[in-house]
Structure 1
Amino acid sequence: MTGASPARRVALDILLDLEDSGAYARDALDASLKVRALDRRDAGLAMRLVLGVVASYGCLDDLIDAFSDKPDRMNSRVRNALRIATFELIYLGTEPRAAVSQGVELVRDRARSATGFANAVLRRIAECRDSYLDADDVREQGARGRFAASIVSLARRGGLPEWLTERIVDSIGFDSAEDLAAAEFEPAPVAVQVNPNDGDAMEDLQRVVRGAGNARKGFGEPLANGITVQEGQLPGAVLDVPSARLVGTDLLKRSGVAVCDLNAQVVATAALAEGRCLEVGSGRGTKTFVMTAQAQRLGIACSSVALELSRRKTSLNRRRLERAGLAEGVRFVTGDGCDLDQSLRDIDGEAEGRALFASVLVDAPCSGTGTMRRHPEIPWRLLPVDVDEDLPELQLALLTEAAGRVIPGGQLLYATCSVLKEENASVVNAFLASPAGAAFSLEPVSDAPAFRMDVCKGAADYVRAHEDGRGRFQTVPKPDGFDGHFCARMVRRG
C-alpha cells in the first residue's frame, strides 16, 4: 500500500485545523472544500474519522500514551495521525494491517523520522484492542472492584470519560448506559416536521425516502394529518429521512420541513395549549417551528412568544417561520430568561400588567449528553462542575423565573436534551420543594392537551412508554433510535 488514502489525509488536515481554531467538527466538515472534492465514499470516511476522533480523543490518547516513551514531546501532526489509526483499530474495526499501514503513511507524510515509532505503537494497540475494551488491566488491579472495571469498559466502548460514564450509569442505569455507549459511533437517525402550509412537502419527502430505498422502516398507513412511522404516531413527523438526499432538495431552503429529532418534537407538541404560550430558550427556532406547525395542523388556537438570549438566533427563527408562513401570532423576543420582567416589558406594557401564559416551556441550556453522537465535542469538553453546579443553578433559576408567568390551571414544562439526573429530576425536585414550586403539581407529560386529542393517541402511547413512575418523559439514545430528551410537566393549581 503506497501513501495514505485521500480520506485519511483530509481527515488529518481537518483535525489539525480544529486544534488551531477551536471550531466545531461538524461546522468545519460542512465548510471544508477538501471534503467536497472527495467522492462520496471517501467523504463519508473522512467525516466519520473526524467526528469519531473528536468524540473519543481522550480514550485514544490514553492508549497512544501507554505505548509511548515520551508522550508529552509528541508533536500534533504525529498525535493526530495516530489518533486516526487508533480510532480505526478500536472503534471502526478496520482490518489491523490496513489501519496500521495507513497510520504509518499518515505519519510519514508529516514526520518521516517518526514512522518506525508509529509502526511500533500502532501494532501494540492492535494487539491489545479486546483487552483494552474489556478493561482487563483494571480487573487485574483488583482494588477498584468488578463494578469499576465494568464502568471503565463501558467508558472505553463509548469513547467517554470515566467520570461522565459513572454519572450516566447512576442516572439511567447500566443497561440504558450500554445502549447510549453503543450508539456513540453510529449515525443518528433524521426526523423532520412537515410544514402544513407547504402542499408539496409530503410528496417530496416520500420521493426522498423511497428514492433512497429506505425499506427498513418505511412509511406506514397515513393518518389524517401525518404519517405513521416506527413506534410512534406524531402528526406531521416523518422519520428515517436520508439526510444526504434531503440536502439535495429545496425542502429545507423553502422551509417545507424542519429537521428535528423525534423526541424533541414530542416535547414541543406537549407544550401546546389553547391561549398564549411562552417558549423560553427558543434558540434557532426548531421547537418554535414544530409548535406552530402542530398548532395549525391540530387546530389548537394559540399565540406564542419565542424568547431567546441570542439576537442572531432570534433573527434566524423569525426568518425561517416567515419563510414557512408560520410566523403569524408569534412574537420574537431577544432577552434573558432569568429576568422575564425586563425581557417581556413591552408585552407586559401592552397587557397593562404581567403577561401570563397557558403554557410555558423552559427549554433549558444543558450538557447535551442525550445528543453526544450529533455533537462529538460534548463528552471531552464537559467538566464535573458543569453538571454538579453551573448548569443546575442556571436551570433552576430559569424554571423559577418562568413559574411566575403561568396562569392558574396552566402548564409549565421543563425540558433538556440531557440524560443526567443532576440536570433533570434533581432540578425538578428542587423546584417543587421551593416556594415558587409549591403552587405546582407534577403531572404526566402524556396528559398534555395535545396528547388528549384522538389524532395524537399513538403519540400519547409513545410518551407513556418512556415516562417514569411520576410521569416524567425520558429517552435514551440507542444505536437504532432517537436522541435522549427529558421533559417534566407541572400544572399550576387554580
Structure 2
Amino acid sequence: MSKAAHLSRGRRAAFRILSSARERDRYARELASEVCAAMGLEARDAAFARRLALGATAACGCLDDALDRVLDDPRALDPEVRDALRIGAYELLYLKTPPQVAVSQGVELARAASRGAAGLANAVLRRVAEDSVAFLDAGDVPERHRIAVSRARRAGLPTWLVRRIVDSLGDERADATLASQFEPAPIAVQVNPLRAEGAAVSLRGDGARPLGLPGSFAVERVAELVRSGAFARADVVASDYHAQLIAAAAVRPGSCLEVGAGRGTKTFMMMAHARRREVDRVHIALDLYEGKCRANEQRVACSGLGSIKAVSGDATDLDACLSGIDAEAGRPVLFDTVFVDAPCSGTGTMRRHGEIPWRLAPQACDVELPGLQLAMLREAAGRVAAGGELVYATCSVLRAENQGAVDAFLASPEGEGFALAPLSGALRGAGPAYGAAVWDLAACEDERGLFQSLPVCGGFDGHFCARFVRV
C-alpha cells in the first residue's frame, strides 16, 4: 500500500475544497458541503475538512508568510502544492496538531498534488514546526511592531487590519474579538410564525434551543434543516442572532423603505415580527441588483407573510430608484422607517467568511466604505417622514464605518434634524414576549444608545446599529 493511501479523508477533502475554490474563483465555504457530499464523508470527517479548509482560507496570508520564509523560491511553488502546504502549516500554527502528524499528513497532501513535492513539503513543514513559536511571537520583526504583528499572526489576519480593530475597540475588546477568529461561529435561525408547527419538528431533530427573541433558535446542525426542506419552503431563515435583533428593532407601524435588502433575509425577519406583533405596514425593499430583488420577492411570496415591492437601483440616488413609486403617489414618498443595511467591511463576520480579511484594503476601510455609507445615510434622510426613524446597520467592528459614520451624518446638513435614540427603545413597547430581546440589545449599547456586538468566543457575530429619530 502506498503512503498516499494513509492520507486522512478529512484532509483530502480540505485540499479539494481549497483547490476548487482557487480554480473556480469560488468561496471555500460555498464548496465545502458540495465536496464533502461528493466524497461521502461522515459528519465528523466533514466537520474536520471544513475547519481545515475554512481556517486555511482565513489565515492564508499569514500561512504564506510562514511558508515563504523557509522556501528558496516562493514564486516557483506550484499552486496545488501551496494549497497542501497551507493546510499543513495551519495545523501546525493554529490547531496545534502534533508536529509528526501535521508534517506527515502535509507531505502526503503535497504528494497528492505533485509526486515530486514530498521532499520539499517535508523540509518546509519541519521548518515551520520548528519556528512556530518564534513566528507567532513575531520575534523576527522590530520590537516597536512586535505586539501588533504577533496579534495579527495569532489571529491569522493582516497587521494593518488588526491595528484598525485595536484602534476601534481598545486592547481588551480587540483581544477578545481576535481570540475568536478560528472558533466556529454559532448558528441561529428565525422561524416563520405561520409555519412554526412544521418548523418545530425540524428544529427538535436539530436539538435547537430558543434565544431571547421570539422565533429565534440556536441550532447545531444546519444541514439537517437544509435536508428537511425548511429553508426552501421559507419555514425558517438562517441569520446571526445579533442581526435578528436589529431586524426586529426596525419594525414599526406604517411604511418602511429597506435599503440594501439583498436576497431578503432581514426582509423576511421584519415581516415575521410584524406578523407576530400584528403591526400593519407597507414594505419597499431596495437593492442594487435585480436578481436579488427577484429572489427577495419570491421568498416573501413563498413565506405567506404578506407582500413587498422590490426595486433595484443605486441607493445614493433614491429619486431615480423610487421614481415609479413617486409617480404613482404624485409626490416624493416619505417613509415612517428607513432602514439602511449598508455595505461594509464585514469585519464582524470574519469567522464565517474567511475570504474577507485578505480581500480588504486599508483604502476601502478608511475612505471608500465610510464615504459610501455616509452618502447612503444622507440620501436616506430625505425620505424619512416627520416623526419617523432612520436605522443604520453594518456587520463591522471598525469605528470609521460605525461611530464615525454616525458622527459624520449628524454633522451633515441632512443629519441636523435627527437625534440618536437607544436601539433597545424600539422594542420596549413590543410586549412582554420581547422583554429578553430588549435586554440583549441594551447589553450591547453604549452611553449614546449605539449598538455594537462583538464576535467573542462562544458568542454571535459583530454587528453595529444606530437609531435616529427625526425631531
Q: Same fold (TM over 0.5)?
A: yes
Q: 1:86 maps to which residue?
A: 89
For these two proteins, the number of residue pairs brought into alignment is 468
> 2: CA distance between counterparts of 1:451 and 1:151?
45
Code of the residue aligned with 1:289 in structure 2: it is F
For 1:295, the aligned partner's letter is A
> Could you tell which deviates more after superposition, 318-327 or 30-39?
30-39
Deviation at residue 433 of structure 1 after TM alignment = 0.2
Contact 2:19 2:83 in 1 (8 A): yes
Q: Distance in 2 between matches of 1:35 and 1:55?
A: 24
Distance 2:105 2:355 in 1: 25
Offset of residue 6 of structure 1:
2.8
DSSP-derived class of the 1:272 partner:
coil
Residue 35 of structure 1, CA deviation: 4.5
The residue type paired with residue 257 of structure 2 is L
Q: Find the counterpart in structure 2 of residue 279 from structure 1.
A: 258
Q: Is the 8 A contact 2:338 2:391 kept in 1?
A: yes
CA 1:449–1:199: 2 relative to 1, 3 Å:
closer
Would the aligned equivalents of 2:203 and 2:219 in 1 still touch at CA under 8 Å?
no
- The alpha-carbon deviation at position 68 of structure 1 amounts to 1.4
Q: Does 1:323 align with 2:302?
A: yes
**Residue 325 of structure 2 is aligned with which of 334, 347, 357?**
347
Q: Distance in 1 between matches of 2:17 and 2:219?
A: 29
- Structure 2 partner of 1:15: 18
**Structure 1 stretch displaced more, 472-481 or 237-246:** 237-246
Amino acid at match of 2:45: D
Gaps of at least 5 residues in structure 2 are: none
Question: After superposition, where does 1:157-168 map in structure 2 within 5 Å?
Answer: 157-168=154-165
Answering whether residue 8 of structure 2 is matched by residue 5 of structure 1, we say yes
Per the TM alignment, residue 206 of structure 1 is displaced from its structure 2 partner at its CA by 4.2
* 1:308-329 superposed Cα distances (whole Å, 9 cap, x missing partner): 111111111111111110133x
Corresponding residue for 2:179? 182
Q: Is the 8 A contact 1:451 1:457 kept in 2?
A: no
Q: Is the 8 A contact 1:272 1:450 kept in 2?
A: no
The question of 1:58 aligning with 2:61 is answered: yes
Alpha carbons of 1:98 and 1:468: their partners in 2 closer, same or farther (altered >3 Å)? same
1:20-419 correspondence runs (5 A): 20-32=23-35, 35-138=38-141, 141-142=142-143, 144=144, 148-210=145-207, 219=209, 227=210, 229=211, 233-328=212-307, 330-419=308-397
Counterpart Cα distance in 1 of 2:100 and 2:261: 49
How far has the Cα of 1:401 moved from its partner?
0.7
2:188–2:216: 8 Å Cα contact kept in structure 1? yes
User: Counterparts of 1:482 and 1:33 in 2: how far apart (Å)?
Assistant: 26
Q: Check 1:370–1:250 CA distance in 2 against 1; reply closer, same or farther (3 A cut).
A: same
Q: Describe the SS at the equivalent of 1:413.
A: strand
Partner of 1:444: 422
Q: Secondary structure at the match of 1:410?
A: strand
Provide the rounded CA distance (Å) in 1 between the counterparts of 2:423 and 2:275.
21
RMSD of aligned alpha carbons: 1.8
Contact 2:339–2:391 (8 Å) recurs in 1: yes
Looking at structure 1, the residues matched to 258 and 270 of structure 2 have their Cα atoms a distance apart, in angstroms, of 10
Check the 8 A contact 1:18/1:24 in 2, yes or no: yes
Q: In structure 1, give the amino acid aligned to 2:11.
A: R
The one-letter code matched in structure 2 to 1:244 is A
- Tell me which amino acid in the other structure corresponds to 1:417: C
Work out whether residues 192 and 259 of structure 1, in 8 Å CA contact, stay in contact via their aligned partners in 2: yes
- For 1:436, the aligned partner's letter is E
The one-letter code matched in structure 1 to 2:275 is: Q
User: In structure 2, what is the Cα distance between the partners aligned to 1:452 and 1:404?
Assistant: 27
- Quick one: distance in 1 between partners of 2:39 and 2:286? 36
Report the alpha carbon displacement of residue 303 of structure 1 after superposing the two structures with TM: 1.4
TM-score by length of 1: 0.91
Taking the aligned partners of 2:90 and 2:102, their CA distance within structure 1 comes to 9
- Give the match's secondary structure for 1:208: helix
Q: Which amino acid aligns with 1:344?
A: L
Assess if the C-alpha contact under 8 Å between 1:254 and 1:324 holds in 2: yes
**Between 270-279 and 243-252, the greater mean CA deviation after superposition:** 243-252
- Contact kept in structure 1, 2:202 and 2:228, CA below 8 Å: no
Aligned to 1:223: none
3-state SS of paired residue (1:371): coil
User: Given the superposition, is the C-alpha separation of residues 315 and 36 from structure 1 closer, same or farther in structure 2, using an over 3 Å criterion?
Assistant: farther
Letter in 1 for 2:259: V
In 2, the alpha carbon distance for the partners of 1:293 and 1:468 equals 28
Q: Could you tell me how far 1:203 is from its partner in structure 2?
A: 2.5
Alpha-carbon contact 1:413-1:487 (below 8 Å) kept = yes
CA-CA distance at 1:451 after TM superposition: 5.5
8 Å Cα contact 1:194/1:256 also seen in 2: yes
Which residue identity is paired with 1:258? V
1:203 and 1:81 mapped to 2: Cα distance? 42
Distance change (3 Å), C-alpha of 1:401 and 1:464: same
* Equivalent residues of 2:316, 2:376 under 8 A apart: yes
In structure 1, runs of 5+ residues without a counterpart are 211-217, 220-226
**CA displacement at 1:16 relative to structure 2:** 2.4
1:480 maps to what in 2?
A: 458
Once the two structures are overlaid, the 10-residue window that deviates more, 414-423 or 332-341, is 332-341
Aligned to 2:434, which of 440, 449, 456?
A: 456
The answer on whether the counterparts of 2:13 and 2:39 sit within 8 Å (CA) in structure 1 is no
CA distance in 2, matches of 1:23, 1:89: 26
Which residue type is aligned with residue 153 of structure 1? S
Pair 1:97–1:466, CA change in 2 (3 A):
same
Supply the distance in 2 between the matched residues of 1:290 and 1:410 (Cα, whole angstroms).
20
Q: Please state how far the C-alpha of 1:96 moved relative to its aligned partner.
A: 1.1
Aligned to 2:400: 422
Runs of 4+ in 1 over 4 A off after TM superposition: 33-36, 449-452
Give the TM-score, by structure 2 length. 0.95
Change (3 A) 1:34 1:251: closer
The residue type equivalent to 1:399 in the other structure is: L
Change (3 A) 1:420 1:121: same
